[in-house]
């Protein structure tokens, strides 16, 4: 079983729609959680950290459920520029290494 699992998609949604991705992690010692975004043929870039109480950054909302070992990302009022692969990322307590999910591919259609 992979340490971080995501639905690879692809998700194709119309512009303006709300879309949500989920991610599960297997290591209960996971301490920090992130969503990264990767555009086609580009490097991954940090989108947002995920905090226990949930957090919002503009149109993006991230949630963490430690009991279920589950992370989510919600994008409201999606834009064409949101088209990318979204990577769920976990950091284990006491370690610096990041563990990446396979990514969920999102395409926003006009």
Partner 1 sequence: DAGVIQSPRHEVTEMGQEVTLRCKLISGHNSLFWYRQTMMRGLELLIYFNNNVPIDDSGMPEDRFSAKMPNASFSTLKIQPSEPRDSAVYFCASSLRNQPQHFGDGTRLSIL
Task: Please identify which residue in 22, 55, 69, 102 interacts with partner 1, judged by CB under 8 A.
Answer: 102
**Using the rule CB under 8 A, is 96 a contact of partner 1?**
yes
| Count of residues interacting with partner 1 (CB under 8 A) | 17
Tokens of 62: 């991230």
**Using the rule CB under 8 A, is 24 a contact of partner 1?**
no
Binding mask 36-65 for partner 1 (x = CB under 8 A): ------xxxxx--x----------------
As a whole number of Å, the CA-based R_g of the chain is 13
3-state helix, strand, coil in the chain (%, to 5): 5, 55, 40
Q: In the bound complex, what is the minimum distance in angstroms from residue 4's beta carbon to partner 1?
A: 9
Rounded Cα distance between 61 and 35, Å, is: 10
């Amino acid at each position: 079983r992979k340490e971080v699992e995501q639905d690879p998609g692809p998700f194709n949604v119309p512009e303006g729609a709300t879309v949500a991705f989920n991610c599960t992690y297997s290591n209960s010692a996971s301490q920090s959680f992130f969503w990264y975004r990767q555009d086609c043929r580009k490097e991954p870039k940090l989108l947002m950290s995920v905090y226990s109480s949930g957090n919002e950054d503009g149109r993006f909302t991230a949630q963490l459920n430690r009991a279920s070992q589950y992370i989510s990302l919600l994008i409201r009022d999606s834009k064409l520029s949101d088209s990318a692969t979204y990577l769920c990322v976990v950091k284990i307590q006491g370690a610096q290494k990041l563990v990446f999910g396979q990514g969920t591919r999102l395409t926003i259609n006009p």
